Amino acid sequence: MSQPTTDVTRLLRRVRNIREFTPEPISEDTLVDILEVGRWTGSASNRQPTEVVVVRDPQARQKLVEAGSNTAGKAAVSLVIVTPGDPARAELEIFDDGRLAERLLVAAAAHGLGSGITTLKGEGPAAVKQMLGIPSERRVRTVVNIGHRDEAAIRAKPKNPQPRKPMTEFAHWDHY
Ligand SMILES: Cc1cc2nc3c(=O)[nH]c(=O)nc-3n(C[C@H](O)[C@H](O)[C@H](O)COP(=O)(O)O)c2cc1C
């Protein structure tokens, strides 16, 4: 069945989690445009609980790599998402964190850049908070890495034969 698509929906379909980057930096203007998209992300009750720490320093980025798992050591920049850490609103904070992360990935893709998520695990959040001067009560779990795509390295990766489940297993029309 042929479906109508648009430039935007084609872009959205192509947003994948990228971990292979070239060393080329990203211009500050591009980064600010991506951050503007992040700033305009909607949140529960419009409480806007999210903030980001923009990490460009290679040594700090290396520490972020060590605090996460399977992440991209060579990205140009890492955006560390910070939320207030209110235990009573944990579910909403994590939802807002994820929604912001996705928008940042999409904004990066719209600029032709690669981007990927790393989740901080174990001692990772505490170590990252200490390194970046984030107050200890705040919640830090998601890092969005952004950089220029290393197309050769991406092509060389083994391909998942079914990167997504079929539509029949995803969408249930009128009844589950
Ligand atoms: C909530 C969440 C947490 C993730 N955490 C990590 C992570 O810690 N490390 C990592 O390499 N990828 C992480 N990813 C990326 C997923 O592995 C990726 O979305 C999935 O494998 C699909 O990749 P693809 O879009 O390239 O097919 C995370 C994604 C999400 C949505």
What pLDDT score was predicted for residue 18? 94
- Domain span at residue 38 reads 16-150
CA atoms within 13 A on the CB side of 172: 3
Nearest to 50 by CA among 107, 111, 93, 105: 93
Indicate the burial class of 46 (C-beta count within 10 angstroms; 0-12, 13-18, 19 or more): exposed
Atom of ligand 1 nearest to the CA of 119: 8
Please check whether residue 4 lies inside any domain of the structure.
no
* Domain total in the chain: 1
- Mean pLDDT (whole number) for 80-85: 98
d(CA 123, CA 79): 19
CATH of the domain at 115: 3.40.109.10
Ligand 1 pocket, 144 CB below 6 A? no
Please check whether residue 40 lies inside any domain of the structure.
yes
33-37, Cβ contacts within 8 angstroms, sequence gap of 24 or more: 33/107, 33/111, 34/104, 34/107, 34/108, 34/111, 34/146, 35/79, 37/103, 37/104, 37/106, 37/107
Ligand 1 pocket, 115 CB below 6 A? no
Please check whether residue 6 lies inside any domain of the structure.
no
What pLDDT score was predicted for residue 71? 67
Atom of ligand 1 nearest to the CA of 71: 11
Tally: H helices and E strands in the chain: 7, 4
DSSP assignment letter at 45? G
Protein residue with least CA distance to atom 7, ligand 1? 118
Residue of 109 and 2 predicted with greater confidence: 109
How confident is residue 72, by pLDDT bands cut at 50, 70 and 90? low
- Mean pLDDT (whole number) for 43-49: 97
Please check whether residue 158 lies inside any domain of the structure.
no
Whether the model clears a pTM of 0.85, i.e. scores above it, the answer is yes
Distances (CA, A) of 96 to 22, 70, 112, 138, 162: 30, 23, 25, 14, 29
What pLDDT score was predicted for residue 98? 98
On the question of pLDDT at 13 being above 90, the answer is yes
Query: What is the percent of the chain with per-residue pLDDT over 90, rounded to a whole number?
Result: 86
What pLDDT score was predicted for residue 1? 58
What pLDDT score was predicted for residue 87? 97
Residue-wise pLDDT for 149-163, tens only, equals 999 999 999 999 999
Our measurement of the distance from residue 72's CA atom to the centroid of its chain's CA atoms, rounded to an integer in Å, reads 12
Residue-wise pLDDT for 96-151, tens only, equals 999 999 999 999 999 999 999 999 989 999 999 999 999 999 999 999 999 999 99
Ligand 1 pocket, 17 CB below 6 A? yes
Ligand 1 pocket test, pick from 69, 80, 119 with the greatest ligand atom count within 8 Å of Cβ, gives: 119
Please check whether residue 64 lies inside any domain of the structure.
yes
d(CA 170, CA 45): 28
Query: What is the percent of the chain with per-residue pLDDT over 70, rounded to a whole number?
Result: 97
Please check whether residue 165 lies inside any domain of the structure.
no
The mean of the pLDDT values for the chain is: 94
On the question of pLDDT at 70 being above 80, the answer is no
CA atoms within 13 A on the CB side of 129: 19
Please check whether residue 63 lies inside any domain of the structure.
yes
54 in helix, strand or coil?
strand
Atom of ligand 1 nearest to the CA of 120: 8
CA 19–ligand 1 middle distance (angstroms): 10
Please check whether residue 146 lies inside any domain of the structure.
yes
